[in-house]
Protein backbone atom coordinates (compact mmCIF):
# COMPACT_ATOMS: atom_id res chain seq x y z
CA UNK A 1 0.00 0.00 0.00
CA UNK A 2 1.30 3.48 -0.86
CA UNK A 3 1.82 5.68 2.18
CA UNK A 4 -0.40 8.70 2.71
CA UNK A 5 1.19 11.88 4.07
CA UNK A 6 -0.81 14.48 5.97
CA UNK A 7 0.50 17.66 7.58
CA UNK A 8 -0.82 19.02 10.87
CA UNK A 9 0.06 21.62 13.49
CA UNK A 10 0.06 21.13 17.24
CA UNK A 11 -2.18 23.45 19.24
CA UNK A 12 -2.36 24.54 22.85
CA UNK A 13 -5.74 26.29 22.82
CA UNK A 14 -8.73 24.16 23.81
CA UNK A 15 -12.47 24.43 24.30
CA UNK A 16 -15.42 25.28 22.12
CA UNK A 17 -14.26 28.84 21.53
CA UNK A 18 -10.86 27.72 20.28
CA UNK A 19 -12.46 25.10 18.02
CA UNK A 20 -14.81 27.70 16.55
CA UNK A 21 -11.86 29.99 15.81
CA UNK A 22 -10.05 27.17 14.04
CA UNK A 23 -13.08 26.36 11.91
CA UNK A 24 -13.45 30.02 10.94
CA UNK A 25 -9.85 29.76 9.73
CA UNK A 26 -10.90 26.69 7.70
CA UNK A 27 -8.93 24.34 9.95
CA UNK A 28 -10.14 21.16 11.67
CA UNK A 29 -9.33 20.41 15.32
CA UNK A 30 -8.12 16.91 16.09
CA UNK A 31 -6.17 14.72 18.48
CA UNK A 32 -3.48 12.05 18.28
CA UNK A 33 -3.36 9.41 21.02
CA UNK A 34 -2.06 5.94 21.83
CA UNK A 35 1.31 4.31 21.48
CA UNK A 36 3.96 5.37 23.96
CA UNK A 37 3.24 9.09 23.69
CA UNK A 38 0.91 11.53 25.38
CA UNK A 39 -2.19 12.77 23.55
CA UNK A 40 -1.41 15.70 21.26
CA UNK A 41 -4.00 18.23 20.13
CA UNK A 42 -3.62 19.19 16.47
CA UNK A 43 -5.27 21.10 13.67
CA UNK A 44 -5.41 20.37 9.94
CA UNK A 45 -6.51 22.22 6.84
CA UNK A 46 -10.19 21.59 6.12
CA UNK A 47 -9.49 21.55 2.39
CA UNK A 48 -6.76 18.93 2.70
CA UNK A 49 -8.60 16.54 5.03
CA UNK A 50 -11.75 16.78 2.88
CA UNK A 51 -9.74 15.86 -0.22
CA UNK A 52 -8.17 12.85 1.52
CA UNK A 53 -11.59 11.60 2.62
CA UNK A 54 -12.51 11.12 -1.04
CA UNK A 55 -9.90 8.34 -1.13
CA UNK A 56 -11.26 5.01 0.14
CA UNK A 57 -7.79 3.94 1.28
CA UNK A 58 -7.52 6.86 3.71
CA UNK A 59 -9.98 5.20 6.11
CA UNK A 60 -7.85 2.07 6.61
CA UNK A 61 -4.31 3.08 5.61
CA UNK A 62 -1.31 3.78 7.78
CA UNK A 63 -0.94 7.56 7.54
CA UNK A 64 2.30 9.50 7.86
CA UNK A 65 1.04 12.36 10.02
CA UNK A 66 3.60 15.17 10.07
CA UNK A 67 3.10 17.34 13.16
CA UNK A 68 5.27 20.48 13.23
CA UNK A 69 7.73 18.69 10.95
CA UNK A 70 7.87 15.46 13.00
CA UNK A 71 6.40 12.31 11.43
CA UNK A 72 4.21 9.81 13.28
CA UNK A 73 2.52 6.67 11.92
CA UNK A 74 -1.20 6.77 12.68
CA UNK A 75 -4.59 5.35 11.77
CA UNK A 76 -7.76 7.36 11.32
CA UNK A 77 -10.04 6.33 14.18
CA UNK A 78 -12.95 8.77 14.28
CA UNK A 79 -14.54 11.61 12.33
CA UNK A 80 -17.19 14.08 13.34
CA UNK A 81 -19.07 15.74 10.50
CA UNK A 82 -21.18 18.88 10.55
CA UNK A 83 -24.86 17.88 10.77
CA UNK A 84 -25.77 19.52 7.46
CA UNK A 85 -22.71 21.25 5.98
CA UNK A 86 -20.03 19.35 3.98
CA UNK A 87 -17.43 19.98 6.67
CA UNK A 88 -15.39 17.90 9.13
CA UNK A 89 -15.75 19.09 12.73
CA UNK A 90 -13.15 16.92 14.51
CA UNK A 91 -10.78 14.06 13.72
CA UNK A 92 -9.06 11.42 15.88
CA UNK A 93 -5.87 9.55 15.01
CA UNK A 94 -4.26 6.61 16.83
CA UNK A 95 -0.51 6.01 16.82
CA UNK A 96 0.72 2.64 15.57
CA UNK A 97 3.96 0.75 16.05
CA UNK A 98 5.63 -1.44 13.47
CA UNK A 99 5.86 -4.38 15.91
CA UNK A 100 2.27 -4.25 17.21
CA UNK A 101 -0.86 -5.58 15.50
CA UNK A 102 -3.55 -3.15 14.46
CA UNK A 103 -7.27 -3.84 14.15
CA UNK A 104 -8.74 -2.19 11.07
CA UNK A 105 -11.92 -2.39 9.00
CA UNK A 106 -10.76 -3.06 5.43
CA UNK A 107 -13.10 -2.58 2.42
CA UNK A 108 -14.12 -5.52 0.24
CA UNK A 109 -13.87 -5.23 -3.53
CA UNK A 110 -16.21 -7.62 -5.33
CA UNK A 111 -14.90 -8.74 -8.72
CA UNK A 112 -16.68 -10.66 -11.47
CA UNK A 113 -20.11 -9.14 -10.78
CA UNK A 114 -21.04 -8.84 -14.46
CA UNK A 115 -19.90 -12.42 -15.16
CA UNK A 116 -21.50 -13.88 -12.00
CA UNK A 117 -23.18 -17.20 -12.88
CA UNK A 118 -26.12 -16.64 -10.54
CA UNK A 119 -26.80 -13.15 -11.86
CA UNK A 120 -26.74 -14.47 -15.43
CA UNK A 121 -29.31 -17.06 -14.34
CA UNK A 122 -31.64 -14.25 -13.28
CA UNK A 123 -30.65 -13.82 -9.65
CA UNK A 124 -29.55 -10.68 -7.81
CA UNK A 125 -26.26 -10.19 -6.00
CA UNK A 126 -26.65 -9.22 -2.35
CA UNK A 127 -23.61 -7.77 -0.57
CA UNK A 128 -24.14 -8.40 3.12
CA UNK A 129 -20.81 -6.87 4.16
CA UNK A 130 -18.76 -4.26 2.33
CA UNK A 131 -15.86 -4.38 4.81
CA UNK A 132 -14.39 -6.76 7.36
CA UNK A 133 -12.32 -6.22 10.48
CA UNK A 134 -8.83 -7.69 10.34
CA UNK A 135 -5.73 -7.82 12.52
CA UNK A 136 -2.16 -7.61 11.21
CA UNK A 137 1.11 -5.77 11.56
CA UNK A 138 1.05 -2.30 9.96
CA UNK A 139 3.36 -3.42 7.14
CA UNK A 140 0.88 -6.16 6.13
CA UNK A 141 -2.23 -3.98 6.14
CA UNK A 142 -4.04 -4.35 2.77
CA UNK A 143 -5.73 -1.42 1.05
CA UNK A 144 -8.67 -3.68 0.22
CA UNK A 145 -9.55 -7.38 -0.02
CA UNK A 146 -10.92 -8.94 -3.21
CA UNK A 147 -13.88 -11.33 -3.27
CA UNK A 148 -14.42 -13.12 -6.60
CA UNK A 149 -18.12 -13.80 -7.26
CA UNK A 150 -17.72 -15.01 -10.85
CA UNK A 151 -18.61 -18.65 -10.09
CA UNK A 152 -21.28 -17.87 -7.47
CA UNK A 153 -24.48 -19.64 -8.53
CA UNK A 154 -28.14 -18.95 -7.93
CA UNK A 155 -28.97 -19.46 -4.25
CA UNK A 156 -25.29 -19.74 -3.28
CA UNK A 157 -23.25 -17.59 -0.91
CA UNK A 158 -19.69 -16.85 0.14
CA UNK A 159 -18.90 -16.94 3.85
CA UNK A 160 -16.21 -15.08 5.74
CA UNK A 161 -14.08 -18.22 6.03
CA UNK A 162 -14.02 -18.47 2.21
CA UNK A 163 -12.53 -14.99 1.74
CA UNK A 164 -8.84 -15.24 0.80
CA UNK A 165 -6.89 -13.00 3.18
CA UNK A 166 -3.35 -11.82 2.40
CA UNK A 167 -0.48 -13.43 4.24
CA UNK A 168 -0.14 -12.17 7.78
CA UNK A 169 -3.74 -10.93 7.93
CA UNK A 170 -6.43 -12.62 10.04
CA UNK A 171 -10.14 -12.08 10.56
CA UNK A 172 -11.15 -10.72 13.96
CA UNK A 173 -14.60 -12.33 13.76
CA UNK A 174 -13.25 -15.81 12.93
CA UNK A 175 -10.73 -15.57 15.78
CA UNK A 176 -13.76 -15.65 18.11
CA UNK A 177 -14.96 -19.01 16.75
CA UNK A 178 -16.77 -20.67 13.86
CA UNK A 179 -20.11 -19.29 15.04
CA UNK A 180 -18.97 -15.96 13.59
CA UNK A 181 -18.53 -17.34 10.07
CA UNK A 182 -21.19 -15.11 8.56
CA UNK A 183 -22.35 -14.66 4.96
CA UNK A 184 -20.46 -11.97 3.06
CA UNK A 185 -22.27 -12.06 -0.28
CA UNK A 186 -24.99 -14.19 -1.87
CA UNK A 187 -27.08 -14.52 -5.01
CA UNK A 188 -30.76 -14.69 -4.17
CA UNK A 189 -33.69 -15.69 -6.36
CA UNK A 190 -35.67 -12.68 -7.54
CA UNK A 191 -39.43 -12.58 -7.81
CA UNK A 192 -39.15 -12.53 -11.60
CA UNK A 193 -36.88 -15.59 -11.58
CA UNK A 194 -39.21 -17.44 -9.23
CA UNK A 195 -42.17 -16.52 -11.46
CA UNK A 196 -40.41 -17.89 -14.50
CA UNK A 197 -39.87 -21.17 -12.68
CA UNK A 198 -43.51 -21.39 -11.66
CA UNK A 199 -44.60 -20.59 -15.21
CA UNK A 200 -42.34 -23.32 -16.58
CA UNK A 201 -43.74 -25.79 -14.05
CA UNK A 202 -47.26 -24.78 -15.08
CA UNK A 203 -46.46 -25.33 -18.74
CA UNK A 204 -45.01 -28.76 -17.96
CA UNK A 205 -48.11 -29.70 -15.96
CA UNK A 206 -50.42 -28.52 -18.75
CA UNK A 207 -48.44 -30.49 -21.32
CA UNK A 208 -48.66 -33.59 -19.13
CA UNK A 209 -52.43 -33.18 -18.80
CA UNK A 210 -52.72 -32.79 -22.57
CA UNK A 211 -50.77 -35.98 -23.15
CA UNK A 212 -52.97 -37.83 -20.68
CA UNK A 213 -56.13 -36.61 -22.40
CA UNK A 214 -54.87 -37.88 -25.73
**What is the sign of the dihedral through the CA atoms of 185, 53, 10 and 2?**
positive
- Inside any domain, residue 9: yes
Compute the average pLDDT of residues 25-51: 92
Both 178 and 144 in one domain: the answer is yes
Q: Give residue 131's domain range.
A: 102-194
40 pLDDT above the threshold of 50? yes
pTM for this one? 0.81
- Inside any domain, residue 68: yes
Pick the closest to residue 11 from 21, 98, 126, 48 (CA basis).
21
Compute the average pLDDT of residues 109-126: 95
Amino acid sequence: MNSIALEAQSRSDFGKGASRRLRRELRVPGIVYGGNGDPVAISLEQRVITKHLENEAFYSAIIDLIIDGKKESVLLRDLQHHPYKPAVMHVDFQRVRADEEVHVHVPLHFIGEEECAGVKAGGALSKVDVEIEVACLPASLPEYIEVDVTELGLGESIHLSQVALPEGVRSIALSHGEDNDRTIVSVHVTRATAGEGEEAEGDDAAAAEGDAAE
